[in-house]
A = this chain, B = another copy of it.
Amino acid sequence: MALDRLIENIVEKQNPTVAGLDPKLAYIPQFIKDAAFEKYGKTLEGAAEALLVYNKALIDALCDIVPAVKPQSAYYEMYGWQGVKTFAETVAYAKSKGMFVITDAKRNDIGTTMEAYANAHLGITDVDGESFSAFGADALTVNGYLGSDGIKPVLSVSQKMDTGMFVLVKTSNPSSGELQNLTLSENDETIYFHMGKLCEEWGNELSGKYGYSGVGAVVGATYPEQLTELRKALPHTFFLVPGYGAQGGTADDIAGAFDKNGLGAVVNSSRGIMCAWQKETDCKPEDFALAARREALKMKKLLTDVTGKITLP
């Protein structure tokens, strides 16, 4: 199942990092924007072109050292269908370079509607007998508020397509506790813990060969205690860990997310890697991709100081 491919990529690269591709125009060097605007004007097309050029250069610079990318749908939708076209092209380009692609879209719905999302992002779209891959990622983030009706269509597409999902469990933001930390009458467990247990249950239908299922969980680096608690309670659930770097999570904070083989989690950095060129002293804008690579190597070092050598079980 699909998270097996992510795990194999992590072991091969000895790096539990996923590079977030959240390309705001403000992050993109001026020379790329100037070239795009010259071609398409200061339009949504122009912005979408700048995003694509930027993403491709980052992917080229990262693909031999980082196992996965996570494009965040919102930053592409912001530039209209033109931005969504860049989103599709980014997913395809990263896959062509051997990266595992996690579409961060937090989709959620029920029945045939969720099936449409699953087919859009992980599966196949049928047009009167012809088959197309609309966005074709390897995994999709989903929100489980609607219960199993919103998960089963993704399970069933994932079984067919060798793909997977990450369900929001304990998110990295300051207000995540407003709902997720409330406890349930029946057993005093928190809502996030209950959601975590549902991931284990749903994962039974999508088990993988390294002990982790195709149903992962999103657990924020900003809550180290919960990361440790959930790692122990959810032995078959792989974690996607946002909140590292810009949001305040450190390598030490996420130590509890890993198992004894150094597996169990993939840690996201978006701004940290993408905007490295703006933070390095004396980095020329032309070297933005090299700066991203330098930052990714630094992050790899910090994370593997925590995990040690990462091995298949």
Given A74-B114, A77-B120, A113-B75, CB of A182 within 8 Å of CB of B184: yes
Interface residues of A (CB under 8 A from B): 22, 24-25, 33, 37, 42-44, 46-47, 72, 74-75, 77-85, 87-88, 106-114, 116-117, 119-121, 125-130, 132, 134-135, 143-150, 168, 171-180, 182-186, 188, 191, 194-195, 198
Q: Chain B nearest CB: distance from A211 CB in Å?
A: 26
Which residues of B are found within 8 Å of A194, using beta-carbon distances?
Answer: 179, 182
**Contact with A119, one of B78, B175, B178 (Cβ below 8 angstroms):** B78
Interface contact B175-A146, CB-CB below 8 Å: yes
Interface contact B106-A143, CB-CB below 8 Å: yes
**Contact with A178, one of B85, B120, B147, B174 (Cβ below 8 angstroms):** B147
Inter-chain CA distance A29–B241, complex, in Å, is 46
Interface contact B127-A149, CB-CB below 8 Å: no
**Contact with A44, one of B75, B110, B125, B179 (Cβ below 8 angstroms):** B125
Interface contact B182-A186, CB-CB below 8 Å: yes
Interface contact B78-A116, CB-CB below 8 Å: yes
Given A146-B176, A179-B195, A185-B185, CB of A125 within 8 Å of CB of B85: no
Which residues of B are found within 8 Å of A172, using beta-carbon distances?
Answer: 110
Interface contact A183-B180, CB-CB below 8 Å: no
Given A47-B127, A110-B171, A184-B184, CB of A147 within 8 Å of CB of B179: yes
Which residues of B are found within 8 Å of A80, using beta-carbon distances?
Answer: 88, 120, 125, 132, 134-135
Interface contact A44-B106, CB-CB below 8 Å: no
Inter-chain CA distance A106–B145, complex, in Å, is 11
Given A44-B127, A116-B74, CB of A168 within 8 Å of CB of B182: no
Chain B residue at minimal CB-CB distance from A40: B127
Chain B residue at minimal CB-CB distance from A172: B110
Inter-chain CA distance A84–B44, complex, in Å, is 14
Given A83-B134, A149-B174, CB of A117 within 8 Å of CB of B77: yes
Chain B residue at minimal CB-CB distance from A117: B74
**Contact with A42, one of B83, B128, B149, B171 (Cβ below 8 angstroms):** B128
**Contact with A46, one of B127, B177, B186 (Cβ below 8 angstroms):** B127
Interface contact A108-B109, CB-CB below 8 Å: no
Inter-chain CA distance A183–B185, complex, in Å, is 6
Which residues of B are found within 8 Å of A82, using beta-carbon distances?
Answer: 81
Chain B residue at minimal CB-CB distance from A126: B25
Interface contact A145-B145, CB-CB below 8 Å: yes
Which residues of B are found within 8 Å of A74, using beta-carbon distances?
Answer: 107, 109, 113-114, 116-117, 120
Question: Which residue of A87, A114, A125, A179 has the most chain B CB atoms within 10 A of its CB atom?
Answer: A179
Interface contact A168-B147, CB-CB below 8 Å: no
